[in-house]
């Protein structure tokens, strides 16, 4: 059985959790046999899944791209991320509906030493596109980078009383450890469907706090690329842009804009509600997922 998951070029804790968690559970049952794919944590259930004879879905979800070809190979479900994925995949049997990240506390115990009123977790693409480290410094709140390794991410998350997060797995991992979280959205690529899919697994609802994005602009680009981008921006402003052009990012956000965004995040953290799933339901659903994994793979999670 080969583990299938997405690897972001710069790392992404929600994806990287796969190579941290599943080998600890499945051990030497995992190998490089591509005829049987274990589809792990993430929004992986789409047309990009490689061809195989058998697929075992291990808490993945739907949300990007076209649906996978379900007539290709044999499909087996240990668990899905939530009820929307179950409906989309036309699964009728009673299976576990919970993200695999809820297994983390069984394998990674970290002290809860609170140092910060709240932490802010941007989406991994937002870290790449925006000036969130600078925004956090202006707002004097803790930035939690989703590109950090699993252990560091969890330790820093648990150092916060609450978590404001644009990254879905920032919310999921906070919820798994009982840390209250607040969903926020700065960019239009944040996927409402997958958030609602996960939330539905624990009878929760998602209401995003909308904030303005920040932009790095041409930071780190070559002189040639900067010149091209400036010409494109000028022509776009004049209404002369071509639909065939590669989209160009907005100019770099100035200090006044960053302060406005930081103030909004601080306002939301002070005035808008945080939430966490029901502890008993979370415990029940996690136990159900553990039993499903133990029964399917003949392993003991404990």
d(CA 102, CA 302): 14
The pLDDT-based confidence of 249 (bands split at 50, 70, 90) is confident
How confident is the model over 112-133, as a mean pLDDT? Answer: 96
34-87 residue pLDDT tens: 999 999 999 999 999 999 999 999 999 999 999 999 999 999 999 999 999 999
Mean pLDDT of the chain: 93
Residue 226 has pLDDT above 90, yes or no: no
Q: How, if at all, do strands 96-97 and 116-121 pair? A: unpaired
Backbone angles phi, psi at 236, to 5 degrees: -65, -40
DSSP state for residue 37 in the 8-state scheme: E
Q: Cβ neighbours of residue 205 under 8 Å, at least 6 residues apart?
A: 196, 199
Full strand arrangement of the beta sheet holding 2-4: 2-4, 36-39, 54-60, 74-80, 96-97
87-115 residue pLDDT tens: 999 999 999 999 999 999 999 999 899 99
3-state secondary structure of 302: coil
How confident is the model over 9-15, as a mean pLDDT? Answer: 94
Residue 196 has pLDDT above 70, yes or no: yes
Judge contact between 293 and 301, C-beta under 8 A.
Answer: yes
**Segment holding 291, helix H or strand E:** helix 279-297
127-165 residue pLDDT tens: 999 999 999 999 999 999 999 999 999 999 999 999 999
């Amino acid at each position: 059985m080969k583990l299938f998951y997405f690897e972001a070029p710069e790392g992404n804790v929600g994806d990287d959790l796969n190579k941290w968690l599943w080998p600890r559970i499945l051990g030497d049952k995992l190998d490089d046999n591509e005829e049987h794919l274990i589809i792990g944590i993430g929004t992986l259930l789409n047309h990009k899944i490689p061809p195989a004879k058998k697929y075992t879905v291990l808490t993945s979800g739907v949300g990007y791209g076209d649906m996978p070809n379900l007539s290709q190979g044999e499909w087996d479900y240990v668990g899905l991320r939530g009820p929307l994925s179950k409906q989309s995949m036309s699964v009728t049997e009673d299976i576990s509906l919970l993200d695999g990240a809820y297994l983390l506390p069984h394998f990674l115990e970290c002290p809860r030493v609170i140092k910060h009123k709240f932490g802010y977790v941007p989406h991994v693409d937002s870290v790449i596109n925006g000036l969130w480290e600078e925004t956090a410094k202006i707002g004097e709140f803790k930035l939690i980078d989703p590109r950090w390794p699993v252990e560091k991410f969890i330790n820093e998350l648990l150092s916060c009383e609450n978590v404001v997060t644009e990254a879905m797995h920032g919310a999921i991992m906070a919820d798994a450890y009982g840390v209250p979280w607040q969903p926020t959205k700065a960019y239009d690529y944040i996927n409402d469907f997958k958030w609602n899919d996960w939330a539905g697994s624990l009878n929760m609802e998602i209401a995003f706090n909308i904030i303005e994005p920040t932009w790095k602009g041409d930071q780190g680009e070559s002189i040639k690329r900067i010149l091209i981008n400036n010409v494109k921006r000028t022509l776009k402003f004049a209404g002369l842009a071509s639909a065939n052009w590669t989209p160009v990012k907005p100019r770099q956000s100035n200090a006044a804009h960053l302060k406005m965004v930081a103030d909004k995040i601080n306002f939301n953290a002070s005035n808008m509600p945080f939430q966490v799933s029901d502890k008993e339901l979370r415990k029940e659903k996690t136990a159900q997922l553990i039993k499903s994994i133990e029964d399917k793979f003949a392993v003991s999670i404990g």
